[in-house]
Amino acid sequence: MPITTTPMSPYIGLEVHGLDLEQDFDESTRRTLLDAWIRGGILLLRGCRSAEAHLRLSRCFGKLESSATPTLNVDNNPYLMELKYDPENRKDFPAAIMRVNGVERAGWLGWHWDQSFTPVIARGAALRMVEPAAIAGETGFIDGIAAWQRLPAQLRERIEDLEVVYHFSPQMDKNPYGFPPDLVNLKTDSENMADLRKYNFPPVVHPLVIVHPETGRKVLKLSPMHAKHVLGMDTTQSDALLHRLADHLVDERYAYFHKWSKDDVIVWDNWRVIHSAAGVPLDVRRRAHRTTLLGDYGHGRYLDPALGREPRTATIVD
């Protein structure tokens, strides 16, 4: 059966059909998948029933990055991370519990691209749904290429050479750009979150606009999460510009929200796509496995030039 694709939405994504994920892939299949990924920004594949199939599929798109959080590894595999929420065992939950739009959600994440707070950012990721949520639990995706194209020409010209400073903060309700104004970070007893708060990530700088390496198209490369200010711009102007750009970028009329089924896997291009997580009600289980694709787009750096570009992500704060 030939491999075919259909659009996931008018804005982003391709669903792949005709591929048995439990079988090995030849080079032609790998190339077909990679080409579809570059065209679509995200790929949806169904029927990924095992960790072995998940890892094999992930390697079609590049080398895998080892997890920075070993406590979340699946069966001690450094390349496979488990993201789960169990109402009966919240202490192992690796993210905060939020109140958003008046509703409490576990696992809610605002719009972002992964690793914006480090100079070397991941190429992408593949998320496999092992146990979908009975209610909610959607993951959202927005295309940064399309967002760039929707900007007025005058604004595109203004921002093309600007850079943004990012700094990690586990308190998502402190992110002012593109996040709900009534967002509240509720108390969580997660040991993983406690560990995360011990780390100090030095501020980094990323360009606001990049050229996507495979397509040659420009990307509005803003991560609303962890964005602090426009480098070299006064606070008032920077704040106004980032609010305007973030509101433009996270316009959910142009988003695709995936309602997960068991054994779905989505692979996204982290150099092009931002994503978000709707979270789940506090009494609803959800479990997923994730791989991360190693990469370096070559434009990130530490704000302090003395630090170079080598990742410094494990500096413990006393």
What pLDDT shows up at residue 123?
Answer: 97
Query: What's the chain's average pLDDT?
Result: 91
For the chain, domains (ranges, CATH) are 4-316 (3.60.130.10)
**Residue 315 pLDDT:** 38
Q: Which residues 6+ apart lie within 8 Å of 296 measured at CB?
A: 120, 121
At residue 174, the pLDDT reads: 82
Give residue-wise pLDDT tens across range 95-137: 778 999 999 999 999 999 999 999 999 999 999 999 999 999 9
pLDDT in tens, 204-255: 999 999 999 999 999 999 999 999 999 999 999 999 999 999 999 999 999 9
Q: Would you state the pLDDT for residue 314?
A: 45
